[in-house]
Structure 1
Amino acid sequence: MGKSTSIRVAIIGAGPRGTSALERLLAHAAAQTGPVSLHIDVVDPYPAGPGHVWQPGQSRLYLMNTQSFYPTVIPEDPRLAPPLAGATFDRWRAQQQLDPLPFLTPDELAELKALGSRDFPSRALYGRYLRCTVADLLEQLPDGVTVVFHETEALSARAAADGGTAFDVGLAGGASLAADSVVLALGHIPSKLNIEQRELKASATQLGLRYFPPAVPADVDWSTIPAGEPVLVRGMGLNFFDVMGQLTEGRGGKFVDAGPRLEYQPSGREPLIVAASRRGTPYRAKAALDGYYPSSVTLRYLTEATLRRFETAGIRPGFDHDLWPLLHRDTLWAYYSTLVRSQPGAVPDQAAFLDDLDEALRPHAHSSTNWEDAVESVLAVHVGPRHRLDLLGLASPLSGRSFASRAELDAAVVDYLLDDARRSALGEQDPVKMAIGALHHGRAVLKTAVADGGITDESWVAGLRGWFESFVEGLASGPPALRSEQLAALARAGVVSFVGPDPRFSVDRRAGRFTAVSPWVGSPPLTATTMVEALAPGNRVAVNDSPLLQQLLADGMVRPRLMMSAEGAPVQATGLDVMPHPYRPVAANGSVSEGLYVLGLQLSSSQWGTAIAAEAIQPGGPFYASGQRTLRDADEIAQAVLGY
Structure 2
Amino acid sequence: MVRGGILRVAVVGGGPRGASAVERLLAVHAQRPAPAHDAVASPGGRPAARAALLEITVYDPFSPGPGKVWRTAQPRLFVMNTQSFYPTLIPSEPGLAPPLAGGSFDAWREAQRAAIDAGTCTLAAEEQAELKGLESRDFPPRALYGRYLAQTWDAVLAAAPPGTTVRHVPAEVARVGRTPHGFAVTCANGRAQEADAVVLALGHVPAQPSAEQAALADAAAHLGLHYLPPAAPADVDWDRLPAGETVLVRGMGLNFFDVMAALTEGRGGRFTEGHDGRLVYTPSGREPHLVAASRRGVPYRGKADLDAYYAPSVELRWLTRAAALAARQAGIQPSFDQDLWPLLHRDTLWAYYSTLARVEPAAVSEGFLEELSAALAVEGPGWEPRASEVVHDGVVPARRLDLRALGAPLAGWHAADRAELDARVLAYLDEDAAGSARGEDDPVKMAIAALHRGRAVLKEAVADGGITEASWVSGLRGWFEGLAEGLASGPPAQRIRQLAALMRAGIVGTVGPEPRFWVDRSARSFTATSPWVGGPEVRARWLVEALAPANAVARADSTLLSGLLADGLVRPRFLAGADGVPQPATGLDVTAPPYRALDVNGLPVEGLYVLGLQLSAVQWGTAIAAEAHPFAAPGEAHDGAPYPSGQRTLRDADAIARHILGVTS
Task: Name the TM tier (shorter chain).
Answer: over 0.9
TM-score, normalisation: structure 1: 0.97
Mapping 1:514-533, distance limit 5 Å: 514-533=526-545
Deviation, 1:356, is 1.0
Among candidates 114, 118, 121, match of residue 137 of structure 2: 118
Amino acid of the structure 1 residue aligned with 2:325: R
The range that moved more, 562-571 or 266-275, is: 562-571
Deviation, 1:485, is 0.7
In structure 2, the residue corresponding to 1:167 is in which secondary structure?
strand
The range that moved more, 433-442 or 172-181, is: 172-181
CA deviations 1:15-50 (Å, max 9, x no partner) are 000010000001011112215410000000111001
In structure 2, the residue matched to 1:621 is 634
TM-score, normalisation: structure 2: 0.94
The range that moved more, 357-366 or 259-268, is: 357-366
Given the alignment of the two structures, is residue 130 of structure 1 paired with residue 125 of structure 2, yes or no? no
CA deviations 1:330-381 (Å, max 9, x no partner) are 00000011111111221231xx211111111115147xxx211101111122
Q: Please give the alpha-carbon distance, in whole angstroms, between the structure 1 residues aligned to 2:274 and 2:324.
A: 50
RMSD of the alignment, in Å?
1.4
Mapping 1:279-318, distance limit 5 Å: 279-318=296-335
In structure 1, the residue corresponding to 2:604 is in which secondary structure?
coil
In structure 1, the residue matched to 2:292 is 275
CA deviations 1:534-566 (Å, max 9, x no partner) are 011112100111111111000000001111111
The range that moved more, 551-560 or 167-176, is: 167-176
In structure 1, the residue matched to 2:42 is none
In structure 2, the residue corresponding to 1:148 is in which secondary structure?
strand
Among candidates 603, 611, 614, match of residue 602 of structure 1: 614
Among candidates 411, 416, 432, match of residue 399 of structure 1: 411
Asked whether the equivalents of residues 3 and 642 of structure 1 are also in contact (C-alpha less than 8 Å), the reply is no
Deviation, 1:315, is 2.1
Taking every aligned residue pair, what percent have the same amino acid on both sides? 59
Q: Please give the alpha-carbon distance, in whole angstroms, between the structure 1 residues aligned to 2:314 and 2:360.
A: 17
Amino acid of the structure 1 residue aligned with 2:74: Q
Deviation, 1:186, is 0.1
CA deviations 1:495-518 (Å, max 9, x no partner) are 001000110000000111000001
Amino acid of the structure 2 residue aligned with 1:379: V
Q: Please give the alpha-carbon distance, in whole angstroms, between the structure 2 residues aligned to 1:266 and 1:342.
A: 39
Deviation, 1:102, is 4.2
CA deviations 1:147-173 (Å, max 9, x no partner) are 11001011111112xx3x300100121
Deviation, 1:620, is 6.0
In structure 1, the residue matched to 2:39 is none
In structure 2, the residue corresponding to 1:488 is in which secondary structure?
helix
Distance verdict in 2 for CA 1:339–1:3, change over 3 Å:
farther
In structure 2, the residue matched to 1:56 is 72
Among candidates 339, 356, 366, match of residue 339 of structure 1: 356
Among candidates 582, 606, 611, match of residue 570 of structure 1: 582
Given the alignment of the two structures, is residue 146 of structure 1 paired with residue 161 of structure 2, yes or no? no
CA deviations 1:172-196 (Å, max 9, x no partner) are 2121111100000000000100000
Given the alignment of the two structures, is residue 359 of structure 1 paired with residue 374 of structure 2, yes or no? yes
Mapping 1:211-290, distance limit 5 Å: 211-260=227-276, 261-290=278-307
Asked whether the equivalents of residues 56 and 128 of structure 1 are also in contact (C-alpha less than 8 Å), the reply is yes
Deviation, 1:590, is 1.3
Asked whether the equivalents of residues 280 and 500 of structure 1 are also in contact (C-alpha less than 8 Å), the reply is yes
Q: Please give the alpha-carbon distance, in whole angstroms, between the structure 1 residues aligned to 2:3 and 2:633.
A: 42
Amino acid of the structure 2 residue aligned with 1:304: R
In structure 1, the residue corresponding to 2:444 is in which secondary structure?
helix
CA deviations 1:247-276 (Å, max 9, x no partner) are 000000000111221110000000000000
Q: Please give the alpha-carbon distance, in whole angstroms, between the structure 1 residues aligned to 2:372 and 2:65.
A: 50
Amino acid of the structure 1 residue aligned with 2:297: G
Mapping 1:21-100, distance limit 5 Å: 21-34=21-34, 36-100=52-116
Among candidates 501, 504, 518, match of residue 492 of structure 1: 504
In structure 2, the residue matched to 1:194 is 210
Amino acid of the structure 2 residue aligned with 1:76: S
Deviation, 1:400, is 1.6
Q: Please give the alpha-carbon distance, in whole angstroms, between the structure 2 residues aligned to 1:410 and 1:3.
A: 67
Given the alignment of the two structures, is residue 455 of structure 1 paired with residue 467 of structure 2, yes or no? yes
Deviation, 1:307, is 2.6
In structure 2, the residue matched to 1:158 is 177
Q: Please give the alpha-carbon distance, in whole angstroms, between the structure 1 residues aligned to 2:600 and 2:331.
A: 31
Q: Please give the alpha-carbon distance, in whole angstroms, between the structure 2 residues aligned to 1:485 and 1:412.
A: 15
Q: Please give the alpha-carbon distance, in whole angstroms, between the structure 2 residues aligned to 1:486 and 1:174.
A: 48
Amino acid of the structure 1 residue aligned with 2:72: P
Q: Please give the alpha-carbon distance, in whole angstroms, between the structure 2 residues aligned to 1:560 and 1:157.
A: 17
In structure 2, the residue corresponding to 1:156 is in which secondary structure?
strand
Distance verdict in 2 for CA 1:348–1:363, change over 3 Å:
closer
Aligned positions, number: 636
Asked whether the equivalents of residues 2 and 643 of structure 1 are also in contact (C-alpha less than 8 Å), the reply is no
Deviation, 1:312, is 3.7
Asked whether the equivalents of residues 228 and 272 of structure 1 are also in contact (C-alpha less than 8 Å), the reply is yes
Q: Please give the alpha-carbon distance, in whole angstroms, between the structure 2 residues aligned to 1:571 and 1:467.
A: 17
Q: Please give the alpha-carbon distance, in whole angstroms, between the structure 1 residues aligned to 2:164 and 2:378.
A: 55
In structure 1, the residue matched to 2:6 is 6
Asked whether the equivalents of residues 325 and 461 of structure 2 are also in contact (C-alpha less than 8 Å), the reply is no
Asked whether the equivalents of residues 207 and 557 of structure 2 are also in contact (C-alpha less than 8 Å), the reply is yes
Given the alignment of the two structures, is residue 434 of structure 1 paired with residue 446 of structure 2, yes or no? yes
Asked whether the equivalents of residues 2 and 642 of structure 1 are also in contact (C-alpha less than 8 Å), the reply is no
Q: Please give the alpha-carbon distance, in whole angstroms, between the structure 1 residues aligned to 2:121 and 2:433.
A: 39
Asked whether the equivalents of residues 15 and 187 of structure 1 are also in contact (C-alpha less than 8 Å), the reply is yes
Structure 2 residue runs without a partner (length 5+): 36-51, 636-641
CA deviations 1:288-313 (Å, max 9, x no partner) are 11100000000011111113321343
Mapping 1:363-378, distance limit 5 Å: 363-365=378-380, 370-378=382-390
Structure 1 residue runs without a partner (length 5+): none
Distance verdict in 2 for CA 1:540–1:199, change over 3 Å:
same
Deviation, 1:526, is 0.3
In structure 1, the residue corresponding to 2:605 is in which secondary structure?
coil
Asked whether the equivalents of residues 3 and 643 of structure 1 are also in contact (C-alpha less than 8 Å), the reply is no
Deviation, 1:610, is 2.5
In structure 2, the residue corresponding to 1:563 is in which secondary structure?
strand
In structure 1, the residue matched to 2:41 is none
Amino acid of the structure 2 residue aligned with 1:633: D
Among candidates 167, 181, 197, match of residue 181 of structure 1: 197
Q: Please give the alpha-carbon distance, in whole angstroms, between the structure 2 residues aligned to 1:265 and 1:13.
A: 42
Given the alignment of the two structures, is residue 549 of structure 1 paired with residue 561 of structure 2, yes or no? yes
In structure 1, the residue matched to 2:45 is none
Q: Please give the alpha-carbon distance, in whole angstroms, between the structure 2 residues aligned to 1:611 and 1:394.
A: 25
In structure 1, the residue corresponding to 2:660 is in which secondary structure?
helix
Q: Please give the alpha-carbon distance, in whole angstroms, between the structure 1 residues aligned to 2:545 and 2:125.
A: 33
In structure 2, the residue matched to 1:16 is 16
